[in-house]
A and B are shown apart, each in its own frame.
Chain A
Amino acid sequence: MKKYKTHVRAANMLLEALGELKQEKLQKIKQKLEDFSCKCSDVPKYSRKYNMAISRCWHKAAEKIRSRMSRDLNDFSHQLEQFKNSIDTDQMKLPKLGDVVAELVQIEDELGEIKFDFKARTISIITETIALEGITFGSFEIRLYLYEIKKLTFQSPYKIVALDPNPAGSNCDVTHPHVSDENLCEGDGFIPIRKAIQQGRLSDFFTIIVQILQTYNPDSPYVSLSDWEGTSCYDCGYTVSGDDCYYCEECERDYCSSCSTYCQICDTTVCLGCSYECPSCNKPVCEHCADVCTECNEQLCKDCLNDEGLCNNCQEQRKEQEDEELKEEPTTAAETKPEIQSDSVGQTRISA
């Protein structure tokens, strides 16, 4: 028995945790019982009101109470059924200490070394290297947090920690097709896992999880195996392989071919968000190859601005203006010039 001293200690901790879970479940039933009792207390109220209405011949009031009772009885029967279900299904029998120790010994026999952390109140095992369809995900630590068992109804009391992670290219939190952020998406294992924990069958609990990790369900992975090595487009989320992935040099993120383009002046790869379509020539350009017209302030590609920074429209307008000014020059000169006369103009030659 000395050999199993740590096992006995861990088994006692598990029993304590299961005791807390049982207490939680009993508390929940207590709450439901109170709600149910409250609902039942409505019946005498209805009875009193109904009797009064009948005795005073308030037929309209009596009908109103009757329809309200009918509606409430529908709710009542539903609540009664739910209450009975929860009382029947939430029965929990704590396992014996010897059985829990036997579970721990079985884990060691079948799944390898078991790790107890009495301070952190955890029991863990480490799986062999998991590989699915040629992709290796390394080994995982399945860590059961005993103090979380009491919340079993609402959340999983364990984590799946990747020890040599090979995360999906598109999401570094996904370390296995069915593990994200150290949480296992249990699928078909959901109920058996909970029942195994609740009944103290830790060997079954760890075995079920190992079997889930060794199985690939192509219908609902976080990231499918075919997309494992790929990169997720920052814009649309579509996963693309390395060759089809484009890196935007402006925002420094990866994009798919549909969400990226290249600057048609300097050939830089940019995403659609960082590119700018010149309204004049419709060419996509990067922000370095776009500028504003010094006259109208419209943003255009550098190809559509002249050396003075003018767009075509402004250049034309300026040309027209200059032409008009040239045309107007002779007439206006005649009107204005007399004021500044050159020497001899308008003077009469007088002989000496």
Chain B
Amino acid sequence: MRIMYINNSGGGFADYMNIEEDTSIAKLFKQKMPHEEAANYLIRVNRQPVPQDYILKENDRVTITPTKIDGA
């Protein structure tokens, strides 16, 4: 299943990616950012906040933005 994944930390990845069926947003976050706390990120699916057990669907647009970004 293909979704749009945008990660606004690090290199600012933004592209389509394939995930397994019945993947929850919490599971995707764990897969993509295994060492991070979800509480430190603004997570949106199709521009809306969703509960952590939300099951991703085909063509969903997932955006992950850190709540703290270090300026220099």
Which A residues have a C-beta under 8 Å from some C-beta of B?
A: 102, 106, 109, 177-178, 184-189, 191-196, 199, 201, 203-204, 207-208, 211-215, 217, 219-221
Contacts and interface: CB of A to CB of B under 8 A. Distances in A.
8 contacts: A177-B71, A188-B70, A189-B71, A191-B12, A201-B14, A208-B8, A208-B65, A214-B68
A219 B8 CA distance: 22
B67 interface: yes
Contacts of A208: 8, 65, 69
B69 A220 contact: no
Interface of B: 6, 8-12, 14, 42, 47, 63, 65-72
Main secondary structure, interface of B, reads: loop
Given A192-B9, A194-B12, A203 B72 contact: no
A204 B71 contact: no
A192 B68 contact: no
A212 B9 CA distance: 12
B13 to A, nearest CB: 8
Contact of A201 (B6, B11, B42, B66): B6
Contact of A204 (B6, B11, B68): B6
Contacts of A192: 8-12, 69
B35 to A, nearest CB: 16
Contact of A188 (B6, B9, B14, B67): B9
A20 to B, nearest CB: 21
A207 B42 contact: yes
